[in-house]
Amino acid sequence: MCTTESLWFEIAIVSIIYALGNILLGHFEERTSKTRRLGKYIMTLLIVCGISTYIGREISMIFLSVFIIPLLYIHGYYLPKKIGVNGWTGEPKSKYYEFRNWDKNIFSEK
């Protein structure tokens, strides 16, 4: 029988959010190291599960929901209006790479 009374519910919600984020917005993190991306996922998982355990599930879900606000601000306003980068596609890549201080030559040997 399926129950939502355990921490597996929080793990599933955070995992779904990260999966959708990687599918829809992963091109914004294409040059970020895999260890940093994995660390961000694990840290978010630990924070959400910790909040759920010690404060309550409702507060942990509110904590996750609040992060929609900066996401909408960054991708809907800041990137297009201030940086000149499409908040959905990340184009033009040259401006976005300059904003992230990444090397624009993606074919260089390291």
Report how far Cα 24 is from the mean position of its chain's Cα atoms: 10
Q: Which two tokens stand for residue 42?
A: 């694990």
Domain ranges for the chain, please list them. Answer: 7-66, 67-105
Helix (H, G, I), strand (E, B) or coil at 84: coil
**Cα 49 to Cα 66: distance, rounded to the nearest angstrom:** 16
How does pLDDT run across 28-73, given as a tens digit for each residue? 888 888 999 999 999 999 999 999 999 999 999 999 999 889 989 9
Q: Are 54 and 66 in contact (CB under 8 A)?
A: no
How does pLDDT run across 5-32, given as a tens digit for each residue? 788 999 999 999 999 988 888 888 888 8
Q: Which two tokens stand for residue 46?
A: 């630990």
The confidence band for 110, taking pLDDT boundaries of 50, 70 and 90, is low
